[in-house]
Amino acid sequence: MCGFVGTMGQNSLASFSLLEKSVDSIGHRGSLSLQPQFYKSQMFCCGFSRLDICDLNDRANQPFFKEGYEHIMCFNGEIYNFQELKNELIKLGYTFGTTSDTEVVYYTYHHFGKECFKKLRGMFAIAIFHTKTQELLLARDHFGIKPLYYCIKHDKVYFSSEIKAFKNFLKFEVLKENIIEFLSLGINLDNTTLFKDIYSVLPGEILYFDSSLACKTTPFFSLLDTFNTSSSPDIDTIESILLKSIEKHIPTDVDYGTQLSGGLDSSFVTTICHKYNQNLQTFSVNFHIPTLDESYFQNMLTSQLGIHNHSFIYDDFFNIEFLKQSIYYEDFPLHHPNILASNKLNNLASKCGLKVLLSGDGADEVFCGYQWHLLQPQMIDNLSLALLNLAYVSPQLLSQTLNLPLKPINKTLIDETRKIQTDNMMTFLGQKIYLQKWLRRQDRSGMQNSLEIRVPFVDTHLIQALNSLDTKTKTQNLAQNKFILKLIAQKYMPYNLVYQQKIGFPIPIREWFSSSQSHMLLSLLQSDRAKDRHIYNNQQISHFINAHQSNQGDYSRLLWLLCNLELWLQVYID
């Protein structure tokens, strides 16, 4: 896990000093003890900040290139089947000078070209420059676990692991038409972002830029196709794939732990990891409010396994400086307040000397763990209704408080959902849309602490197997969430832990926005600075603040998003 920044275009070398500053701005993505590395030429420059996890030797440093080959590579991520690929390449005549997955990716691309990305099992964002053809390739993993952004300005292509790195090359402007969609869903539904002229490489996508900067896009993976297969794996097969995925996600060269909420997903990952590491450490967050406290189940599991659990109470909601810092690292308004608690948890793990944590993220989207997975088909028979189930706050409610346009639903998404059975609609949308914001949270929350978060439930083999089954099969005829995962988990974990009531990772913002301290955040929306933007409907915002604080409704989510929008504008746009 690492971070990189690069530029391609005539006379790229002239802006090399700006590139160095940009790499420094994402230095948190690498090990603090390692200096960033660079490659520079007239047509292409790049810099790399490395978090050394696989092959700790300098020989695996990046940007990576080999004498006699015609491409330079930046690779952020982990490839969990790299040893199998390495054995295949050795049979093809390749010799290796490192034990890293980086060199394996490099040679896999050299031999198989663009087909190599289909062979990679893991998370990755990759940039490859061809020195002979003067072409740039950008590629992102199947499900978008690792981020990759780009923009075309000043006759150059700029690319980076995080948007903040572009600030040295261009002035940030907000793309207002994207604001309501982003606040509602936590992402934008196309490749645009909240920043004008800055784009995201989409999951499962390859971008080619030729020397004139003309761009061609090619998908190497289609999530939609995973729902249209004829295979029907049994539970034993799914269990085997899941166990193998967790095993492959366990690092061999550095110490690791797990994020332990106390829920089914993280508890299962922790249980399996403990089989491989008797000294496993876990990390948990709790709250003073009993209905949100999962410490009972955390203690049940850690006591049974004999694990040392690092836990703490989170109550630092009104720390404005920490909130602004978190927004800075996220690149975006925080789509959920639990990001703050995640940042504290990952910071604790980093201070304990760990470089990797395994997480239960993705289990709900893959095994059908949300209430909207149990909806009858007639309740989600059109895309607008389906998307409302994924919304943190409805776009209609947001539009009452923001003088901004509502963006039409992305046409590509409309076309895709016409090709999928209604029974599978919410599973498809959950993986394509809802999962994305949680993967971004784990990337940014981990990386700001020089910590890699791995998500074994977000595995190509596992998702392909489960998506070949219809939703009714995975939910016991729409009666039980995560039916298959529970059948598997009860072989390894206490029954009460497996079949507990789902809490998730909520934050008590309803209570906090009703407290006497809430003015510390809400005053942001009533300031002259906010009013001068002319995007807020001040009368409506005052109405919702008063209604919430007089207990006439719960508008805490709305208030949270509006406060985050204002702080994001202050951090990135002003």
- 532: Cβ contacts below 8 Å, ≥ 6 apart: none
Q: How confident is the model at residue 60 (pLDDT cuts 50, 70, 90)?
A: low
- Kindly indicate the confidence band of residue 96, based on its pLDDT and cuts at 50, 70 and 90: very high
> Which domains are present in the chain?
3-221 (3.60.20.10), 231-374+424-499 (3.40.50.620), 509-573 (no CATH)
CA distance 126 to 104: 13
Please pick, among 2, 46, 54, 116, the residue that the annotation labels catalytic: 2
**Residue 138: pLDDT over 70:** yes
Q: Is the per-residue pLDDT at 151 higher than 80? A: yes
What's the number of CA atoms in the CB half-sphere (13 Å) around residue 372? 21
pLDDT at residue 32 tops 70: no
The model's pTM is 0.96
Residue 399 marked ligand-binding: no
What average pLDDT does the chain have? 94
Q: Check residue 543 and give its pLDDT.
A: 97
- Please state, in angstroms and rounded to a whole number, the distance separating the CA atoms of residues 28 and 25: 8
Which residues does 375 contact at the CB level (< 8 Å), separation at least 6?
Answer: 389, 426, 478
Q: Where are the alpha helices (DSSP H) in 308-393?
A: 320-330, 338-351, 363-367, 383-390
**What are the tens digits of pLDDT across the range 527-548?**
999 999 999 999 999 999 999 9
Taking 80 as the threshold, does the pLDDT of residue 36 lie above it?
yes
Of 65, 209, 69, whose CA–CA distance to 138 is shortest?
209
Per-residue burial over 414-429, b = 16 or more CB atoms within 10 Å of its CB, e = otherwise: eebbeebebbbbbbbb
Q: Is there a binding annotation on residue 516?
A: no
Confidence of residue 574 (pLDDT cuts 50, 70, 90): very high
Structure tokens at 533: 């933007």
Compute the average pLDDT of residues 258-280: 97
Give me 112's structure tokens.
Answer: 């198989």
Using CA atoms, how far residue 144 sits from 25, 26, 103, 202, 370, in Å, is 22, 19, 22, 7, 21
Distance, in Å, from the CA atom of 527 to the CA atom of 393, rounded to the nearest integer, reads: 23
DSSP 180-196: HHHHHHSS-SSSB-SBT
Q: Is 285 annotated as a binding residue?
A: yes
Tens-place pLDDT, residues 241-262? 999 999 999 998 788 999 999 9
What is the residue whose two structure tokens read 């948190």? 28
Return the pLDDT at 377.
83
3-state secondary structure (DSSP) of residue 419: coil
User: Is 236 marked as binding a ligand?
Assistant: no
DSSP state of 402: B
State the maximum Cα–Cα separation within the chain, in Å, rounded to a whole number.
73
74 catalytic residue (yes or no): no
